[in-house]
Amino acid sequence: GGCCDLQSRMVSGSFTFFGIILLCTCSASPPNFVLIFADDLGFGDLGCYGHPSSRTPNLDRLAAEGLRFTDFYSTCPVCSPSRASLLTGRYQTRSGIYPGVFYPGSIGGLPLNETTIAEVLKSLGYATAIIGKWHLGVGHNGMFLPTKQGFDHFLGIPYSHDMVSVFPVCAT
């Protein structure tokens, strides 16, 4: 049915998730997993995907003991649209997250009517968390933050590592 197709599309299009980490736990037999998405990381940049000189022993071990995706393609070379695509399993243009990224002055975000992988996993009994950079909008009173998009917990930053001018408390 439609739900299974959506779940299949969303799960099949998921691996490289570093700046954001999605931790999922469940109470019964479904497996726990971590989804890693990294900005500016190419498919062949890790040892587990054949890079001759990259030393990524921890990621290599995770790949050897787990599942590696070999047919996931980024739909956009820019952060916000590619994150939206990964989390929804849809082309980013369908959710309006195109062509650029969200900034502190942006008023939009990932539309709340988009179904995220976190929402699908929660319906299957998983607990979900996202750690790292969200970069899919904040909105008025945080209406577009991950905890409004199916994630139980969010530990991270809403935009990027360059937020010192917005949050001067972080300045060194």
> Is 161 noted as a catalytic residue in this protein?
no
- pLDDT (0 to 100) of residue 129: 96
Distance CA 46, CA 49 (A): 5
75-120 tens-digit pLDDT? 788 889 989 999 999 988 888 888 888 887 888 899 999 999 999 9
Residue 66 has pLDDT above 80, yes or no: yes
Q: Looking at 24, 135, 161, 170, which residue is catalytic?
A: 135
Closest CA to 101 of 156, 161, 141: 161
What is the homologous superfamily of the domain 2-170 according to CATH? Answer: Alkaline Phosphatase, subunit A (3.40.720.10)
Q: Looking at 3, 79, 140, 153, which residue is catalytic?
A: 79
Q: Are 39 and 18 in contact (CB under 8 A)?
A: yes
- pLDDT (0 to 100) of residue 4: 47
Instruction: Tell me what the mean pLDDT of segment 1-23 comes to.
Output: 43
> Is 135 noted as a catalytic residue in this protein?
yes
Low-confidence winner among 61-70, 109-118, 141-150 (lowest mean pLDDT): 61-70
Arithmetic mean of pLDDT over the chain: 79
31-59 tens-digit pLDDT? 888 888 888 788 789 999 999 999 999 99
Domain residue ranges in the chain:
2-170
Distance CA 127, CA 129 (A): 7
Taking the CB of residue 82, how many other CB atoms lie within 10 A of it?
21
- pLDDT (0 to 100) of residue 78: 85
Cis peptide before 146 (omega within 30 of 0): no
- The pTM score is 0.72
